[in-house]
Amino acid sequence: MAEKQTPNTSNGIEACAQVIRPLVAIVGRQNVGKSTLLNRLAGRRIAIVEDLPGTTRDRLTANVNWLGRDFTLIDTGGVESKGSSIFSDDINRQVDTAINEAALILFLVDAKDGLLPTDQDIAAKLRQVKNRVLLVANKADNDKADLISAELHPLGLGEPITISAYHGRGINDLLDAIMEHLPQIPSAVTDQPSSSLKIAIVGRPNVGKSMMLNQLLGEDRVIVSDIPGTTRDAIDTVLDFEGQSIILIDTAGIKRRGHQGEGVDKYSVIRSLDAIDRADIALLVMDASELVTAQDLHVAGYLQKAFKGVIIIINKWDLTKTLNKSEVTSCIRANFKFMRHAPVLYTSAKDGSGISAIIPQALDIYRERLKRIGTGELNSTVQQVLARHTPPHKGSRILKFLYVTQAEVNPPTFVFFVNDVTLMHFSYQRYLENQLRQNFGFNGTPLRLVFKARGK
Protein backbone atom coordinates (compact mmCIF):
# COMPACT_ATOMS: atom_id res chain seq x y z
CA MET A 1 0.00 0.00 0.00
CA ALA A 2 2.85 2.36 0.90
CA GLU A 3 4.48 1.59 -2.43
CA LYS A 4 1.37 2.72 -4.25
CA GLN A 5 1.57 6.14 -2.61
CA THR A 6 5.22 6.75 -3.53
CA PRO A 7 5.59 9.70 -5.95
CA ASN A 8 6.77 8.78 -9.43
CA THR A 9 10.07 10.63 -9.19
CA SER A 10 11.83 8.64 -11.87
CA ASN A 11 9.65 10.38 -14.43
CA GLY A 12 7.93 13.02 -12.29
CA ILE A 13 9.59 16.44 -12.50
CA GLU A 14 11.78 15.30 -15.39
CA ALA A 15 8.90 13.80 -17.38
CA CYS A 16 6.62 16.76 -16.81
CA ALA A 17 9.35 19.25 -17.67
CA GLN A 18 11.32 17.51 -20.43
CA VAL A 19 8.57 15.66 -22.25
CA ILE A 20 6.00 18.43 -22.03
CA ARG A 21 8.47 21.34 -22.24
CA PRO A 22 12.24 21.20 -22.86
CA LEU A 23 14.37 22.48 -19.99
CA VAL A 24 16.71 25.43 -20.44
CA ALA A 25 19.11 26.05 -17.53
CA ILE A 26 20.86 29.35 -16.79
CA VAL A 27 24.23 28.78 -15.13
CA GLY A 28 27.12 31.04 -14.23
CA ARG A 29 29.04 32.47 -11.33
CA GLN A 30 27.52 34.82 -8.81
CA ASN A 31 26.08 38.20 -9.72
CA VAL A 32 26.24 37.92 -13.52
CA GLY A 33 22.49 38.57 -13.89
CA LYS A 34 20.96 35.08 -14.05
CA SER A 35 17.84 36.04 -12.09
CA THR A 36 17.43 39.24 -14.10
CA LEU A 37 17.56 37.17 -17.29
CA LEU A 38 14.98 34.71 -15.92
CA ASN A 39 12.62 37.58 -15.12
CA ARG A 40 13.21 39.17 -18.53
CA LEU A 41 12.55 35.96 -20.50
CA ALA A 42 9.54 35.07 -18.35
CA GLY A 43 8.09 38.55 -18.76
CA ARG A 44 7.42 38.90 -15.04
CA ARG A 45 9.32 39.12 -11.78
CA ILE A 46 9.79 35.54 -10.52
CA ALA A 47 13.27 35.49 -9.00
CA ILE A 48 14.41 37.91 -6.32
CA VAL A 49 16.96 40.26 -7.86
CA GLU A 50 19.42 42.13 -5.69
CA ASP A 51 22.95 43.36 -6.30
CA LEU A 52 24.38 40.93 -3.76
CA PRO A 53 26.30 37.76 -4.63
CA GLY A 54 24.46 34.57 -3.69
CA THR A 55 20.91 35.97 -3.62
CA THR A 56 19.62 32.94 -5.59
CA ARG A 57 20.43 29.61 -3.92
CA ASP A 58 17.87 27.14 -5.26
CA ARG A 59 16.68 26.31 -8.76
CA LEU A 60 13.75 28.50 -9.85
CA THR A 61 11.64 27.70 -12.90
CA ALA A 62 9.42 29.62 -15.31
CA ASN A 63 7.49 28.57 -18.40
CA VAL A 64 8.33 30.66 -21.47
CA ASN A 65 6.60 30.82 -24.86
CA TRP A 66 8.32 32.22 -27.93
CA LEU A 67 6.81 32.11 -31.42
CA GLY A 68 4.32 29.45 -30.37
CA ARG A 69 6.89 27.14 -28.78
CA ASP A 70 7.20 26.48 -25.05
CA PHE A 71 10.17 25.72 -22.83
CA THR A 72 10.83 25.71 -19.10
CA LEU A 73 13.59 28.01 -17.89
CA ILE A 74 15.63 27.13 -14.78
CA ASP A 75 17.54 29.73 -12.80
CA THR A 76 20.32 28.40 -10.58
CA GLY A 77 22.41 29.67 -7.72
CA GLY A 78 25.72 31.28 -8.64
CA VAL A 79 28.57 28.79 -8.91
CA GLU A 80 31.16 29.38 -6.19
CA SER A 81 34.72 28.25 -5.72
CA LYS A 82 34.84 25.27 -3.37
CA GLY A 83 34.61 26.24 0.30
CA SER A 84 33.95 29.93 -0.39
CA SER A 85 30.72 29.84 1.65
CA ILE A 86 28.78 27.42 3.84
CA PHE A 87 26.39 26.82 0.92
CA SER A 88 28.96 26.49 -1.91
CA ASP A 89 28.87 22.68 -2.15
CA ASP A 90 25.05 22.59 -2.03
CA ILE A 91 24.71 25.29 -4.69
CA ASN A 92 27.25 23.68 -7.01
CA ARG A 93 25.45 20.33 -6.65
CA GLN A 94 22.16 22.00 -7.60
CA VAL A 95 23.85 23.49 -10.68
CA ASP A 96 25.17 20.04 -11.66
CA THR A 97 21.65 18.66 -11.42
CA ALA A 98 20.27 21.44 -13.62
CA ILE A 99 22.98 20.77 -16.22
CA ASN A 100 22.18 17.05 -16.28
CA GLU A 101 18.45 17.69 -16.70
CA ALA A 102 18.58 20.50 -19.26
CA ALA A 103 18.11 20.16 -23.00
CA LEU A 104 19.99 23.46 -23.38
CA ILE A 105 22.32 25.40 -21.08
CA LEU A 106 22.75 29.19 -21.13
CA PHE A 107 26.23 29.91 -19.77
CA LEU A 108 25.98 33.50 -18.59
CA VAL A 109 29.10 35.62 -18.15
CA ASP A 110 29.56 39.30 -17.28
CA ALA A 111 30.80 41.31 -20.28
CA LYS A 112 31.90 44.17 -18.02
CA ASP A 113 33.94 42.07 -15.60
CA GLY A 114 35.58 39.95 -18.26
CA LEU A 115 36.75 36.40 -17.61
CA LEU A 116 37.36 35.35 -14.03
CA PRO A 117 38.83 32.02 -12.80
CA THR A 118 35.34 30.78 -11.80
CA ASP A 119 34.17 31.32 -15.41
CA GLN A 120 37.05 29.17 -16.62
CA ASP A 121 36.12 26.41 -14.13
CA ILE A 122 32.49 26.40 -15.27
CA ALA A 123 33.51 26.40 -18.93
CA ALA A 124 35.75 23.36 -18.37
CA LYS A 125 32.73 21.47 -17.07
CA LEU A 126 30.43 22.70 -19.86
CA ARG A 127 32.83 21.81 -22.69
CA GLN A 128 31.91 18.18 -21.99
CA VAL A 129 28.36 18.97 -23.21
CA LYS A 130 29.34 21.73 -25.66
CA ASN A 131 26.60 20.85 -28.14
CA ARG A 132 24.00 21.81 -25.49
CA VAL A 133 25.57 25.14 -24.48
CA LEU A 134 24.94 28.72 -25.59
CA LEU A 135 27.51 31.25 -24.37
CA VAL A 136 25.71 34.46 -23.35
CA ALA A 137 27.53 37.68 -22.46
CA ASN A 138 25.31 39.80 -20.21
CA LYS A 139 25.60 43.48 -19.28
CA ALA A 140 26.77 44.26 -22.83
CA ASP A 141 25.25 47.71 -22.89
CA ASN A 142 27.14 48.89 -25.98
CA ASP A 143 28.02 47.59 -29.44
CA LYS A 144 31.53 46.31 -28.74
CA ALA A 145 30.51 42.77 -29.65
CA ASP A 146 33.80 42.00 -31.47
CA LEU A 147 35.88 42.90 -28.43
CA ILE A 148 33.65 40.80 -26.15
CA SER A 149 33.85 37.85 -28.56
CA ALA A 150 37.63 37.98 -28.67
CA GLU A 151 37.88 38.09 -24.87
CA LEU A 152 35.56 35.10 -24.43
CA HIS A 153 37.11 32.99 -27.20
CA PRO A 154 39.44 31.11 -24.76
CA LEU A 155 36.37 29.50 -23.15
CA GLY A 156 36.06 27.27 -26.21
CA LEU A 157 32.25 27.51 -26.34
CA GLY A 158 31.77 29.36 -29.62
CA GLU A 159 30.59 32.87 -30.38
CA PRO A 160 28.81 34.61 -27.50
CA ILE A 161 25.35 36.10 -27.79
CA THR A 162 25.60 39.62 -26.36
CA ILE A 163 22.65 40.87 -24.31
CA SER A 164 21.62 43.24 -21.56
CA ALA A 165 19.03 41.41 -19.47
CA TYR A 166 18.35 44.56 -17.46
CA HIS A 167 17.61 46.75 -20.50
CA GLY A 168 16.22 43.99 -22.73
CA ARG A 169 18.90 44.40 -25.38
CA GLY A 170 19.49 41.32 -27.56
CA ILE A 171 16.77 39.26 -25.85
CA ASN A 172 14.92 38.49 -29.09
CA ASP A 173 18.15 37.24 -30.67
CA LEU A 174 18.76 35.04 -27.64
CA LEU A 175 15.25 33.58 -27.84
CA ASP A 176 15.70 32.86 -31.55
CA ALA A 177 18.96 31.05 -30.77
CA ILE A 178 17.25 29.03 -28.04
CA MET A 179 14.56 27.96 -30.52
CA GLU A 180 17.21 26.85 -33.03
CA HIS A 181 18.92 24.61 -30.47
CA LEU A 182 15.88 23.10 -28.73
CA PRO A 183 14.52 19.72 -29.87
CA GLN A 184 11.21 19.76 -31.70
CA ILE A 185 8.37 18.35 -29.60
CA PRO A 186 5.08 17.17 -31.17
CA SER A 187 2.23 19.56 -30.39
CA ALA A 188 0.15 16.70 -28.99
CA VAL A 189 2.77 16.24 -26.28
CA THR A 190 3.16 19.92 -25.40
CA ASP A 191 -0.36 20.33 -24.09
CA GLN A 192 -0.24 20.51 -20.29
CA PRO A 193 -3.10 19.40 -18.07
CA SER A 194 -5.79 22.08 -17.85
CA SER A 195 -5.41 22.28 -14.11
CA SER A 196 -2.93 21.10 -11.52
CA LEU A 197 -3.38 20.92 -7.79
CA LYS A 198 -1.12 23.57 -6.25
CA ILE A 199 0.21 22.85 -2.75
CA ALA A 200 2.19 25.48 -0.81
CA ILE A 201 4.45 24.36 2.04
CA VAL A 202 4.32 27.18 4.57
CA GLY A 203 5.29 27.97 8.13
CA ARG A 204 7.78 29.93 10.17
CA PRO A 205 11.53 29.52 9.52
CA ASN A 206 13.40 26.31 10.27
CA VAL A 207 10.46 23.95 10.78
CA GLY A 208 11.61 21.59 7.98
CA LYS A 209 9.70 22.80 4.92
CA SER A 210 12.46 22.26 2.35
CA MET A 211 13.37 18.87 3.76
CA MET A 212 9.69 17.92 3.52
CA LEU A 213 9.61 18.94 -0.14
CA ASN A 214 12.66 16.78 -0.82
CA GLN A 215 10.97 13.83 0.89
CA LEU A 216 7.79 14.32 -1.15
CA LEU A 217 9.83 14.36 -4.36
CA GLY A 218 12.18 11.59 -3.34
CA GLU A 219 15.24 13.68 -4.25
CA ASP A 220 17.27 16.64 -2.96
CA ARG A 221 15.49 19.26 -5.00
CA VAL A 222 16.15 22.25 -2.72
CA ILE A 223 18.93 23.13 -0.31
CA VAL A 224 18.28 22.01 3.26
CA SER A 225 20.07 23.62 6.19
CA ASP A 226 19.59 24.04 9.92
CA ILE A 227 20.15 27.77 9.42
CA PRO A 228 16.81 29.67 9.39
CA GLY A 229 16.15 31.51 6.14
CA THR A 230 18.01 29.19 3.75
CA THR A 231 15.05 29.22 1.35
CA ARG A 232 14.42 32.73 0.05
CA ASP A 233 12.12 32.34 -2.96
CA ALA A 234 8.89 30.45 -3.46
CA ILE A 235 9.96 27.49 -5.60
CA ASP A 236 7.55 25.59 -7.87
CA THR A 237 8.21 21.92 -8.61
CA VAL A 238 5.98 19.62 -10.67
CA LEU A 239 5.18 16.19 -9.24
CA ASP A 240 3.41 13.35 -11.05
CA PHE A 241 1.53 11.41 -8.37
CA GLU A 242 -0.24 8.38 -9.81
CA GLY A 243 -1.19 10.33 -12.94
CA GLN A 244 -2.24 13.47 -11.05
CA SER A 245 -0.23 16.60 -11.86
CA ILE A 246 0.68 18.45 -8.66
CA ILE A 247 2.69 21.65 -8.24
CA LEU A 248 4.56 21.78 -4.94
CA ILE A 249 5.59 25.26 -3.78
CA ASP A 250 8.35 25.51 -1.19
CA THR A 251 8.32 28.90 0.52
CA ALA A 252 10.60 30.94 2.69
CA GLY A 253 9.78 30.94 6.40
CA ILE A 254 7.28 33.66 7.25
CA LYS A 255 8.75 35.75 10.04
CA ARG A 256 6.95 38.08 12.41
CA ARG A 257 6.76 41.59 10.99
CA GLY A 258 9.15 43.05 13.55
CA HIS A 259 11.72 40.34 12.75
CA GLN A 260 11.75 40.86 8.99
CA GLY A 261 14.89 42.44 7.61
CA GLU A 262 15.14 44.64 4.57
CA GLY A 263 15.92 43.66 0.98
CA VAL A 264 15.94 39.92 0.29
CA ASP A 265 14.40 39.07 3.66
CA LYS A 266 11.45 41.36 3.09
CA TYR A 267 10.76 40.19 -0.47
CA SER A 268 11.04 36.54 0.56
CA VAL A 269 8.06 36.99 2.88
CA ILE A 270 6.13 38.78 0.12
CA ARG A 271 6.80 35.86 -2.23
CA SER A 272 5.64 33.40 0.41
CA LEU A 273 2.35 35.24 0.79
CA ASP A 274 1.97 35.39 -3.00
CA ALA A 275 2.57 31.62 -3.11
CA ILE A 276 -0.24 31.10 -0.60
CA ASP A 277 -2.57 33.24 -2.71
CA ARG A 278 -2.07 31.10 -5.82
CA ALA A 279 -2.14 27.75 -4.01
CA ASP A 280 -5.22 25.55 -3.56
CA ILE A 281 -3.99 23.85 -0.39
CA ALA A 282 -1.35 24.78 2.17
CA LEU A 283 0.70 22.45 4.33
CA LEU A 284 1.05 24.39 7.59
CA VAL A 285 4.28 22.91 8.98
CA MET A 286 4.96 23.26 12.70
CA ASP A 287 7.83 22.14 14.92
CA ALA A 288 6.81 19.38 17.36
CA SER A 289 9.33 20.65 19.88
CA GLU A 290 7.86 24.15 19.88
CA LEU A 291 4.04 24.10 19.97
CA VAL A 292 2.14 26.43 19.47
CA THR A 293 3.83 29.77 18.66
CA ALA A 294 2.20 33.11 17.96
CA GLN A 295 3.70 33.03 14.47
CA ASP A 296 2.09 29.64 13.77
CA LEU A 297 -1.26 31.24 14.60
CA HIS A 298 -0.44 34.27 12.45
CA VAL A 299 0.31 32.11 9.40
CA ALA A 300 -2.82 30.01 10.04
CA GLY A 301 -4.90 33.19 10.22
CA TYR A 302 -3.59 34.29 6.83
CA LEU A 303 -4.49 30.90 5.33
CA GLN A 304 -7.99 31.14 6.76
CA LYS A 305 -8.53 34.66 5.38
CA ALA A 306 -7.31 33.45 1.99
CA PHE A 307 -9.82 30.53 2.15
CA LYS A 308 -7.15 27.92 1.42
CA GLY A 309 -7.43 24.22 2.13
CA VAL A 310 -5.13 23.32 5.02
CA ILE A 311 -3.33 20.32 6.45
CA ILE A 312 -1.68 21.00 9.81
CA ILE A 313 1.59 19.07 9.91
CA ILE A 314 3.45 18.47 13.15
CA ASN A 315 6.98 17.89 11.88
CA LYS A 316 10.09 16.61 13.68
CA TRP A 317 7.91 14.12 15.53
CA ASP A 318 10.91 11.77 15.69
CA LEU A 319 12.56 14.15 18.16
CA THR A 320 9.74 13.97 20.68
CA LYS A 321 9.82 11.29 23.36
CA THR A 322 7.24 12.39 25.90
CA LEU A 323 4.44 13.88 23.76
CA ASN A 324 1.20 12.04 23.11
CA LYS A 325 -0.54 12.46 19.74
CA SER A 326 -4.04 12.73 21.17
CA GLU A 327 -2.92 15.36 23.67
CA VAL A 328 -1.09 17.35 20.99
CA THR A 329 -4.13 17.16 18.70
CA SER A 330 -6.32 18.48 21.53
CA CYS A 331 -3.83 21.33 22.00
CA ILE A 332 -3.97 22.13 18.29
CA ARG A 333 -7.77 22.12 18.26
CA ALA A 334 -7.88 24.38 21.31
CA ASN A 335 -5.51 26.93 19.76
CA PHE A 336 -6.78 26.74 16.18
CA LYS A 337 -10.49 26.99 16.90
CA PHE A 338 -11.06 28.76 13.58
CA MET A 339 -9.49 25.84 11.74
CA ARG A 340 -11.12 22.75 13.20
CA HIS A 341 -11.82 21.51 9.68
CA ALA A 342 -8.07 20.98 9.06
CA PRO A 343 -6.70 17.45 9.51
CA VAL A 344 -3.56 17.02 11.64
CA LEU A 345 -0.69 14.80 10.46
CA TYR A 346 2.49 13.82 12.31
CA THR A 347 5.67 13.54 10.27
CA SER A 348 9.44 13.45 10.31
CA ALA A 349 10.88 15.00 7.17
CA LYS A 350 14.26 13.73 8.33
CA ASP A 351 13.47 9.99 8.30
CA GLY A 352 10.39 10.16 6.04
CA SER A 353 7.84 8.81 8.51
CA GLY A 354 4.30 10.04 7.88
CA ILE A 355 5.25 11.72 4.59
CA SER A 356 3.37 9.20 2.41
CA ALA A 357 0.04 10.32 3.91
CA ILE A 358 0.39 13.96 2.86
CA ILE A 359 -0.41 13.87 -0.87
CA PRO A 360 -3.41 11.48 -0.56
CA GLN A 361 -4.81 13.72 2.19
CA ALA A 362 -4.28 16.81 0.01
CA LEU A 363 -6.07 15.15 -2.90
CA ASP A 364 -9.03 14.33 -0.62
CA ILE A 365 -9.23 17.98 0.44
CA TYR A 366 -8.95 19.13 -3.17
CA ARG A 367 -11.94 16.96 -4.08
CA GLU A 368 -13.86 18.52 -1.18
CA ARG A 369 -12.98 22.00 -2.47
CA LEU A 370 -14.38 21.08 -5.88
CA LYS A 371 -17.61 19.64 -4.46
CA ARG A 372 -20.82 21.30 -5.67
CA ILE A 373 -24.20 20.95 -3.94
CA GLY A 374 -27.38 21.23 -6.02
CA THR A 375 -29.58 24.25 -5.27
CA GLY A 376 -32.64 22.16 -4.46
CA GLU A 377 -30.84 19.90 -2.01
CA LEU A 378 -29.05 22.90 -0.48
CA ASN A 379 -32.24 24.90 0.15
CA SER A 380 -34.04 21.90 1.59
CA THR A 381 -31.19 21.29 4.04
CA VAL A 382 -30.95 24.97 5.03
CA GLN A 383 -34.69 25.12 5.78
CA GLN A 384 -34.28 22.20 8.19
CA VAL A 385 -31.27 23.92 9.77
CA LEU A 386 -33.24 27.16 10.23
CA ALA A 387 -36.11 25.27 11.86
CA ARG A 388 -33.74 23.82 14.50
CA HIS A 389 -32.27 27.17 15.47
CA THR A 390 -34.29 30.38 15.13
CA PRO A 391 -32.45 33.09 13.13
CA PRO A 392 -31.38 36.27 14.97
CA HIS A 393 -33.63 39.32 15.28
CA LYS A 394 -33.59 42.95 16.40
CA GLY A 395 -36.77 44.08 18.08
CA SER A 396 -39.65 42.99 15.93
CA ARG A 397 -37.47 42.41 12.85
CA ILE A 398 -36.29 38.83 12.30
CA LEU A 399 -33.73 37.62 9.79
CA LYS A 400 -35.46 35.78 6.96
CA PHE A 401 -33.70 33.54 4.44
CA LEU A 402 -35.16 33.68 0.94
CA TYR A 403 -32.91 31.10 -0.72
CA VAL A 404 -29.30 29.94 -0.95
CA THR A 405 -27.10 28.81 -3.81
CA GLN A 406 -23.54 27.61 -4.20
CA ALA A 407 -21.89 30.20 -6.41
CA GLU A 408 -18.35 28.81 -6.69
CA VAL A 409 -15.97 25.97 -5.85
CA ASN A 410 -12.33 26.10 -4.74
CA PRO A 411 -13.15 27.51 -2.25
CA PRO A 412 -16.79 26.43 -1.81
CA THR A 413 -18.78 29.66 -1.79
CA PHE A 414 -22.42 29.90 -0.69
CA VAL A 415 -24.60 32.96 -1.27
CA PHE A 416 -27.53 33.46 1.12
CA PHE A 417 -30.23 35.90 0.02
CA VAL A 418 -31.90 37.46 3.06
CA ASN A 419 -34.29 40.28 3.88
CA ASP A 420 -31.78 42.36 5.91
CA VAL A 421 -28.03 41.68 6.02
CA THR A 422 -27.58 43.81 9.15
CA LEU A 423 -29.56 41.26 11.16
CA MET A 424 -26.92 38.55 10.59
CA HIS A 425 -24.81 37.76 13.67
CA PHE A 426 -21.37 36.10 13.47
CA SER A 427 -22.45 33.33 15.86
CA TYR A 428 -25.35 32.39 13.58
CA GLN A 429 -23.01 32.45 10.57
CA ARG A 430 -20.74 30.00 12.41
CA TYR A 431 -23.79 27.83 13.13
CA LEU A 432 -24.70 27.77 9.43
CA GLU A 433 -21.14 26.80 8.46
CA ASN A 434 -21.06 23.99 11.02
CA GLN A 435 -24.37 22.67 9.72
CA LEU A 436 -23.18 22.76 6.11
CA ARG A 437 -20.15 20.71 7.14
CA GLN A 438 -22.25 18.28 9.13
CA ASN A 439 -24.52 17.67 6.15
CA PHE A 440 -22.12 17.89 3.20
CA GLY A 441 -18.57 17.38 4.49
CA PHE A 442 -16.02 19.90 3.13
CA ASN A 443 -13.25 18.47 5.29
CA GLY A 444 -10.02 20.46 5.23
CA THR A 445 -11.30 23.59 3.53
CA PRO A 446 -12.80 26.87 4.74
CA LEU A 447 -16.25 27.80 3.46
CA ARG A 448 -16.99 31.27 2.16
CA LEU A 449 -20.47 32.42 3.20
CA VAL A 450 -21.82 35.54 1.50
CA PHE A 451 -25.04 37.27 2.58
CA LYS A 452 -26.95 39.53 0.21
CA ALA A 453 -30.09 41.57 0.70
CA ARG A 454 -33.17 40.99 -1.46
CA GLY A 455 -32.64 42.19 -5.01
CA LYS A 456 -28.87 42.69 -4.72
Please indicate, yes or no, whether the overall pTM of this predicted structure exceeds 0.95. no
The one-letter amino acid at 176: D
The pLDDT value given to residue 351: 92
- The answer to whether the peptide bond before residue 411 is cis (omega within 30 degrees of 0) is yes
Residue-by-residue pLDDT tens, the chain, 456 positions: 333 333 333 333 333 333 346 888 888 888 888 888 888 888 755 443 343 344 333 446 677 888 878 888 877 766 655 544 444 565 566 567 667 778 899 999 888 887 888 888 888 888 888 888 999 988 887 666 667 777 888 888 888 888 888 888 888 999 999 999 887 654 433 333 346 899 999 988 888 888 898 898 886 544 444 444 333 345 677 888 888 888 888 777 665 554 444 333 444 556 667 778 889 999 999 999 888 888 889 889 889 999 999 999 999 999 888 889 999 999 999 999 999 999 999 999 999 999 999 999 999 999 999 999 999 999 999 999 999 999 998 888 999 999 999 999 999 999 999 999 999 999 999 999 999 999 999 999 999 999 998 765
Written in H, E and C, the secondary structure of the chain is CCHHHCCCCCCCHHHHHHHCCCEEEEECECCCCHHHHHHHHHCCCCCCCCCCCCCCCCCEEEEEEECCEEEEEEECCCECCCCCCCCHHHHHHHHHHHHHHCCEEEEEEECCCCCCHHHHHHHHHHHHHHHHEEEEEECCCCCCHHHHHHHHHHHCCCCCEECECCCCECHHHHHHHHHHHCCCCCHHHHCCCCCCEEEEEECCCCCCHHHHHHHHHCCCCCCCCCCCCCCCCCEEEEEEECCEEEEEEECCCCCCHHHCCCCHHHHHHHHHHHHHHHCCEEEEEEECCCCCCHHHHHHHHHHHHCCCEEEEEEECHHHCCCCCHHHHHHHHHHHCHHHCCCCEEECCCCCCCCHHHHHHHHHHHHHHHCCCCCHHHHHHHHHHHHHHCCCCEECCEECCEEEEEEEECCCCEEEEEECCHHHCCHHHHHHHHHHHHHHHCCCCCCCEEEEEECCC
Dihedral of alpha carbons 329, 330, 336, 339, sign: positive
**CA-to-CA distance for 405 and 401, rounded, in angstroms?**
12
The pLDDT value given to residue 23: 81
The pLDDT value given to residue 268: 52
The pLDDT value given to residue 454: 73
